[in-house]
Amino acid sequence: MKKIHWIFDYFKQAFHINRTNKILYIPQIIFIAVKLLMIMGIGVAVYTGLGQRDFYRLIIGDFRFEQFFPMLVYGGISLLMMGLIYMIISRIVEAGLYNMYKQSVMAGTIETGAFGDGVRKYFFSFLLGDILIFIAWVIFLPFYFIAGIVTLTVGFAIIPLIINIFLTMWKVSLVMNDSGLFTALGDSFRFANHYFFPLTILQFIHWSFVKGIRGGGNRGNYGLRWTEHVDKVPQLPFWPGSISNQQDIVAIVINFMKIAIAVLVPVVTIATAVAALIKMIFEVFFSLVIFIAYHHRFGESRELIEREVIL
């Protein structure tokens, strides 16, 4: 239980580091701005697509699938490219930010160029590590499903929790020790094995703020989710001899959809911005706590950062 008490001291320390190093928020604010531009871009693309003659012809059935296929491929590739760009930018921001966290925890201040140094040193390791973990998940997926079903769905929630706890410290270890990827992964597992209980409590508190029911990153992905529903047009019955009426109805429906998108895009953009900014505050705070916890090792570290707080 004593080790858990240290969590509150880490919260105190992180709070004060936060107050004196507001520069920590800048990379994430820029990243949020990029995300918002992507959402607006998708919205504008959908709005423009709805106004295309080809889309209208597709709805009224005057368009063969073979003619529509290139558009579909183009749209799919565009979304895939956006996803890849998003993933790369997020890893760049993360790498730079982790170096800033390291400096703020170890030295109390952040040097100019810390972000760039972090990106240079850690971007590829972070990207490779995440890809490896993703591949491991794909390989492990059948066993995960079996374990989940055998445990009456409890395993579906608990297994990812436990794995994420063991993977908590790999990026922190990589940055703090300037070590290699596999050394960092091993260190993360050893750390979690040694400090499982206090680390679990810390991570549950962390995740309750970041993955909580309200707001959170999942809700921030509005831009990608709602577009799934935008292209659903009601199926209209075909009346022979009244095609012009059906065409008018389709045109009206498409116009309504365009108005809905024109309203939804700014609303979704604002909602995403607010949710992302709130999540950012929690994420920066808890990332600092995790760095402090790694360095301090819940009271077992030989090097303790003695930080006098100037009130």
Partner 1 sequence: MWFDEIMDDCKQGLEVVSKNKGVFIPILIQAAINMALFIFVFVGSVIFFIRHGRDLETIFNSPENLLSVALPIIFIGFILYLFFVVIGVMIEVGSVHLYKLAVEGIKPKVSYFFDGIKRYFLKVFGGTLLLHIIILILFIPGLVLFVLYSLTIGILTAGWGITLLGILIGVYFNAWTVAVVVDDMGPLKAIITSMKFGMRYFWGLFVLTLAGIMISQYMGAAFGALVNIVGGWFISGAILAYFKLVILIIYKRKREELVYK
Q: Which CB, 75 or 148, lies closer to partner 1? A: 148
Tell me how far apart the alpha carbons of residues 270 and 220 are, in angstroms, rounded to a whole number: 10
Nearest to 102 by CA among 175, 185, 173, 12: 175
φ, ψ at 301 (rounded to 5°): -75, 145
Are 36 and 269 spatial neighbours (Cβ–Cβ below 8 Å)?
yes
Residue with smaller CB distance to partner 1, 88 or 157: 157
Query: How far apart are the C-alpha atoms of 32 and 266, rounded to whole Å?
Result: 15
Does 306 bind partner 1 (CB under 8 A)? Our answer is no
Q: Closer CB to partner 1, residue 14 or residue 100?
A: 14
Stretch that binds partner 1, among 75-83, 97-105, 120-128, 148-156 (CB under 8 A): 148-156
The only residue of 77, 158, 249, 305 in contact with partner 1, by rule CB under 8 A:
158
Q: Could you say whether residue 156 binds partner 1 (CB under 8 A)?
A: yes
Stretch that binds partner 1, among 77-85, 88-96, 272-280, 295-303 (CB under 8 A): 272-280
Per this entry, what is the length of the chain?
A: 311
- Of 74 and 143, CB closest to partner 1: 143
Taking the C-alpha atoms of residue 109 and residue 105, their distance in angstroms, rounded to an integer, is: 8
Instruction: Kindly tell me which residue out of 107, 150, 259, 267 binds partner 1, with binding defined by CB under 8 A.
Output: 267
Contacts of 295 (CB under 8 A, 6+ apart): 105, 106, 176, 301, 303, 305
CB of 35 to partner 1, least distance (A): 13
Report yes or no: 14 and 292 within 8 Å, Cβ to Cβ. Answer: yes
The answer to the question of residue 11 lying near partner 1 (CB under 8 A) is: yes
Q: Does 275 bind partner 1 (CB under 8 A)?
A: yes
Buried b (16+ CB within 10 A) or exposed e, 28-38: beebbeebbeb
Question: What whole-number distance in Å separates Cα of residue 29 and Cα of residue 220?
Answer: 14
Residue 9 or 231: which CB sits closer to partner 1?
Answer: 9
Question: Considering only CA atoms, which of 176, 83, 185 is closest in space to residue 130?
Answer: 185
Footprint of partner 1 on 207-246 (CB under 8 A): 207-209, 211-215, 219-220, 222
Q: For partner 1, what does the binding mask look like between residues 102 and 141, x meaning CB under 8 A?
A: ----------------------------------------
Q: How many residues bind partner 1 (CB under 8 A)?
A: 39
DSSP 55-91: HHHHHTT-S-HHHHHHHHHHHHHHHHHHHHHHHHHHH
Candidates 46, 272, 286, 292; binder of partner 1 (CB under 8 A) is 272
Residue showing tokens 């410290």: 169
- Residue 167 interacts with partner 1 (CB under 8 A)? no
Query: Rule CB under 8 A: is residue 177 a binding residue for partner 1?
Result: no
* Contact residues: partner 1, CB under 8 A: 1, 4-5, 8-9, 11-12, 15-16, 152-158, 161, 204-205, 207-209, 211-215, 219-220, 222, 267, 270-272, 274-275, 278, 309, 311
